[in-house]
Amino acid sequence: MLLTLLLVIEVIVAFFLIVVVLLQRSEGGALGMGGGPSGFMTARGAGDLMTRITWILGSVFFVLGLLLTIMAGREGGSSSVVDRLKVDAIDPNSLNQSAPQPTPAAPAQGGPAPLQAPAPVVGNPFGAQPAPTAPQPAPQTAPAPAAPQ
């Protein structure tokens, strides 16, 4: 409930910050299109007021962002994602069991045989035993071209 309230206030502050920044007079010239004396806010006092409002809204936006981050972290608890997944309870031996292989389909009319992906193997990179590897097929070589006669 409090996070929702803070988030709504953050969005409202962000909207007003955008409006205040867009209302300010350009000081840099913006590609040669510098504003003349006929602007909405021309007095120096109005510029100081807009600058102060920008600083206040920016500070409130920053503080609300920090509060939202801290409160969302506390609401999530002290457990990490790995603790919530219970990775330690998974048995690696059950993951390495091979699944029944599907029977390959017959090639159609002398076309190439369909490709089959290798069976997935899960290994522990921190364990002493290396993970079993699937046998690699021998590379096929093209026949050598016939010598010219």
The average confidence (pLDDT) of the chain is 74
- pLDDT tens for residues 63-121? 999 999 998 888 766 666 666 676 667 777 777 666 666 665 555 566 777 788 777 77
Q: How many domains does the chain have?
A: 1
Of 65, 72, 89, the C-alpha closest to 9 is 65
Please indicate, yes or no, if residue 147 is contained in any of the structural domains: no
Please indicate, yes or no, if residue 79 is contained in any of the structural domains: no
Please indicate, yes or no, if residue 59 is contained in any of the structural domains: yes
pLDDT of residue 12: 97
pTM strictly above 0.75 = no
114 CB-near residues (< 8 Å, 6+ apart) = 104, 105, 107
Alpha-helical (H) ranges within 24-140 are: 44-75, 81-85, 92-95
Domain that holds residue 70: 17-25+48-74
Structure tokens at 31: 């590609």
